Amino acid sequence: MRLLFLGDLVGRSGRNAVIDQLPSLVEENQIDFVVVNGENAAAGFGITEEILQDLLDAGADVVTTGNHAWDQRDTLVYIERQPQLLRPANYPPGSPGRGANLYRARNGANVVVANLMGRIYMDAMDDPFHAAEKLLEEFPLGHVADAIIIDMHAEATSEKQAMGHFCDGRASLVVGTHTHAPTADHQILVGGTGYMSDAGMCGDYDSVLGMEKEEPVQRFLRKIPSGRFTPALGEATICGVAVDTDDRTGLAVDISPVRIGGRLSQVLPPFWPAGKN
């Protein structure tokens, strides 16, 4: 099975790039399932139902979130009627929405997607490792699930790496989000799980984490806010990670970063048809 995960969409630049290009990426490369982290899609803070629907219409199968999940207050209501939008599974009991779900891929396979959030340098949350264990027991790879994708939304690389090893052999892909900078450590772990510490963002990299540069730079210089953070509007780079899995085991057999457009060096997976051109 061919999986694509795209990192945090930041503002109009990031979401327009994904909405415009995702349909052709899916068709030309026979991608079976797409996950997008959309928690910064609405002017950098949260996601509206309209933007969610635009991403789903463009070819995203699931949209994950993180610490900005509730920045758009309407999300607390509409997430209940949108099973393709996930919030972290280790939010406290009683939180609206879902933290994981079972979905049907384009090829008919069963795909489980789970959204987790780290605790180091983040808001106090329930234990993400306990939440992951429950999910992996409920949806065993190769039995209930043909593929399992885990979005580990976290600040600390150590916590992301620990989650990768914790899930190794039991998930198809563990990928980090939140820091907006793509890492160079994409790999298949010893047990067969694809791993990358951070998928990067889909946004304008002539920025500070996708935001116009002036305000964050001034805050570092003066320690005084002088305005709002606003998303940069230059050409976006679509960043993410692609994985091909073994149809028998659900484990990864190929993994590659994805970087398309904008300022960063361009990478298309060599196992995609477009990457062979």
Q: Which residues have a catalytic role annotated?
A: 68
DSSP H helices in the chain? 11-28, 49-58, 75-78, 128-138, 157-167, 214-222
Neighbouring CB atoms inside 10 A of 18's CB total 27
**What backbone phi and psi angles, to 5 degrees, belong to 116?**
-125, 160
Longest dimension (CA), the chain: 57
Distance CA 133, CA 139 (A): 10
Q: How far does CA 255 lie from the centroid of its chain? A: 15
87: left (phi over 0), alpha (psi -120 to 50) or beta: beta
Look-up: residue for tokens 């990768």?
164
Cβ-proximal residues to 92 (8 Å cutoff; 6+ apart), any chain: 125, 126
263 touches 257 (CB < 8 A): no
Q: What does the block give as tokens for 77? A: 């209501």
Distance CA 175, CA 120 (A): 17
Q: What does the block give as tokens for 102? A: 């079972």
3-state secondary structure 8-21: EEEHHHHHHHHHHH
